[in-house]
């Protein structure tokens, strides 16, 4: 009931053109450390955020900056709380790939929160007006809604280094053009959530070595597919940043079952 009310209230505020406020962020995340820092909210940044997160009605104000920073950290904390034992067990991975990094919240969060100073982090996304963005289903080459310029600004504002940005369009939108293999490949609200992971799987599979991990946000109707069934994997629930949103699950995949052991107590 409370969730329904929150959902209705958020939608109404958006329709009325009202800026969102911190009260819409789940109480469990409001007072957590702000690892990710939002740069000043310019009209350009508002436009970039709204392409990726059209559910937000932001303005170039401190209130919107504060709200966006809170939601980005809330999302990161929810995922981190679910994955921390697994990520800690990885130590300092040599090479990591993020697929569909958006404006870089997770890249910043992981670089600052984990011992990833020496990690070579590859960020794969592309600029785009989001022409075709199915909620689930097959990937298209018209689904990009990123802004690589804004991404670089956000990363720079957060003072992180040791990353490389890859424009998917330079790679014919194919992941197997990426210079793998990677110790960790992750994708939050992109491959596995907006597009069928099965469709990406052949390309992704080739980027994983014997001790790699893959982590993907999955949608509620996610169904296993042949390539996945052949590998050890777990589904891990996690909390989301907005009070109105119900928990979702992360899919964690490894070739070596032992790498999944740190997750044993976090649910399946």
Ligand X SMILES: C[S@@+](CC[C@H](N)C(=O)[O-])C[C@H]1O[C@@H](n2cnc3c(N)ncnc32)[C@H](O)[C@@H]1O
* Residues near ligand X (CB under 6 A): 52, 99-102, 105, 125, 128, 139, 143-146, 168, 173, 188-190
Nearer to ligand X, 132 or 209 (CB): 132
Nearer to ligand X, 171 or 256 (CB): 171
Structure tokens at 98: 């993020």
CB 241 within 8 A of CB 74: yes
CB of 136 to ligand X, least distance (A): 13
Distance CA 214, CA 96 (A): 10
Task: Name 191's bridge partners.
Answer: 195
Task: Name 252's bridge partners.
Answer: 215, 234
Structure tokens at 118: 């020496």
Nearer to ligand X, 179 or 232 (CB): 179
CB of 166 to ligand X, least distance (A): 10
Nearer to ligand X, 86 or 103 (CB): 103
CB of 124 to ligand X, least distance (A): 6
Angle between helices 105-113 and 148-157 (to 10 degrees): 30
CB of 234 to ligand X, least distance (A): 20
Distance CA 13, CA 248 (A): 24
Structure tokens at 146: 């990123």
> Mapping DSSP to helix (H, G, I), strand (E, B) and coil, where does residue 220 land?
coil
Nearer to ligand X, 131 or 264 (CB): 131
Nearer to ligand X, 76 or 260 (CB): 76
Distance CA 4, CA 194 (A): 23
Residues 6+ apart with CB under 8 A from 1: none
Distance CA 190, CA 200 (A): 11
CB of 139 to ligand X, least distance (A): 5
CB of 25 to ligand X, least distance (A): 15
Distance CA 125, CA 57 (A): 23
């Amino acid at each position: 009931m409370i969730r329904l009310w929150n959902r209705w209230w958020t939608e109404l505020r958006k329709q009325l053109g009202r800026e969102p406020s911190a009260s819409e962020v789940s109480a469990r995340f409001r007072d957590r450390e702000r690892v990710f820092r939002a740069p000043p909210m310019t009209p350009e940044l508002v436009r970039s955020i709204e392409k990726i997160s059209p559910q937000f009605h932001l303005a170039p104000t401190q209130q919107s900056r504060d709200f966006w920073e809170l939601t980005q950290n809330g999302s990161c904390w929810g995922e981190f709380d679910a994955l921390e034992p697994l990520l800690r067990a990885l130590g300092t991975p040599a090479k990591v790939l993020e697929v569909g990094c958006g404006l870089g919240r997770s890249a910043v969060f992981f670089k600052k929160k984990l011992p990833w100073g020496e990690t070579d982090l590859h960020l794969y996304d592309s600029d785009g007006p989001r022409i075709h963005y199915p909620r689930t289903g097959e990937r298209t080459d018209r689904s990009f809604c990123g802004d690589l310029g804004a991404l670089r600004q956000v990363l720079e504002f957060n003072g992180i280094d040791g990353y490389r940005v890859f424009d998917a369009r330079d790679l014919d939108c194919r992941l197997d053009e990426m210079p793998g293999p990677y110790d960790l490949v992750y994708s939050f609200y992109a491959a596995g959530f907006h597009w069928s992971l099965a469709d990406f799987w052949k390309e992704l599979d080739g980027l994983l070595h014997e001790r790699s991990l893959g982590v993907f946000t999955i949608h509620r109707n996610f169904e296993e597919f042949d390539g996945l069934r052949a590998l050890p994997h777990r589904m891990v629930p996690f909390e989301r940043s907005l009070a109105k949103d119900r928990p979702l699950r992360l899919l964690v995949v490894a070739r070596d079952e032992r790498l999944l052991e740190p997750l044993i107590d976090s649910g399946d």
